[in-house]
Amino acid sequence: DARVTQTPRHKVTEMGQEVTMRCQPILGHNTVFWYRQTMMQGLELLAYFRNRAPLDDSGMPKDRFSAEMPDATLATLKIQPSEPRDSAVYFCASGPSPIGTRLEDTEAFFGQGTRLTVV
Amino acid sequence: AQTVTQSQPEMSVQEAETVTLSCTYDTSESDYYLFWYKQPPSRQMILVIRQEAYKQQNATENRFSVNFQKAAKSFSLKISDSQLGDAAMYFCAYRNISQRIFYGGSQGNLIFGKGTKLSVKP
């Protein structure tokens, strides 16, 4: 049963601490998304990778957030230093290549999210 | 930049009745896909239905169907015979897909609306 795995599921941290969230995309998927979900803003795209290269991180605060894919099986999202306003649920999603005409290649599969609370 | 708008923050429907959730989007692209995702309290995002922009026929999945109006850039979701398990947040999403081979840019990006919370009354 292929699925996107995110760790940790929950994280409570103090303001100023570094937070690292991890995502294991589905094997074979070459596109990875990071989203932040809050009540006020809904689902905001933070970063988008294709073949491990960042294509769009315009939604990510560059001063404290960073996203990387050290290899094809791991995507990371780091916040340093964390602030209370970063409290949200962070989702990772992966999908096949969007190039082509196969309808089944258009779907993004989501992990269950990391609920981050910064106090 | 593409945007997706869901104008109904909350909706309510009686069990067994029909409800329609609205979604509009803005894009200058001609090739794209549209999706409706469901997010129950478990937080899991579940794909409900998808529509290819170049197909005029509206997509249907069991009790879920869409009304896709490309010229109006409208993509509404109709849920027939609503069930208690349909209660969830529903997100409309847009993804532009290029048929060309490309090596850069944000083609393939997936943009969401802010969601509509659907309640189902027994």
Please determine, for residue B60, whether its predicted confidence score (pLDDT) is greater than 90.
Answer: yes
Nearest residue of chain A to residue B32 (CA atoms): A106
How close A12 comes to chain B (CA, Å)?
A: 18
Candidates B39, B42, B109, partner chain A, best to mutate (most A CBs within 10 A): B109
The predicted structure's pLDDT at residue A1:
64
Please determine, for residue A7, whether its predicted confidence score (pLDDT) is greater than 90.
Answer: yes
For chain A, percent of residues with pLDDT exceeding 70: 92
Average pLDDT of chain A, as a whole number: 90
- Read off the CATH number of the domain in which A27 is found: 2.60.40.10
What are the structural domain ranges in chain B?
A: 3-100+110-121
- Domain containing residue A101: 5-118
Number of domain units in chain A: 1
Q: How far apart are CA B85 and CA B77, in angstroms?
A: 16
Range B73-83 average pLDDT:
97
Greatest mean pLDDT among A92-96, A101-105, B19-23, B32-36:
B19-23
In this structure, whether the domain defined by B3-100+110-121 belongs to CATH 2.60.40.10 is answered with: yes
Question: Is A49's Cβ below 8 Å from some Cβ in B?
Answer: no
How many contacts does A have with B, using Cβ atoms within 8 A? 68
Question: Is B111's Cβ below 8 Å from some Cβ in A?
Answer: yes
Burial of A12 (0-12, 13-18, 19+ CB in 10 A): exposed
Residue pair B75/B51 in contact by the 8 Å Cβ criterion: yes
Residues contacting residue B28 through CB under 8 Å, at least 6 positions apart: none
Range A13-19 average pLDDT:
97
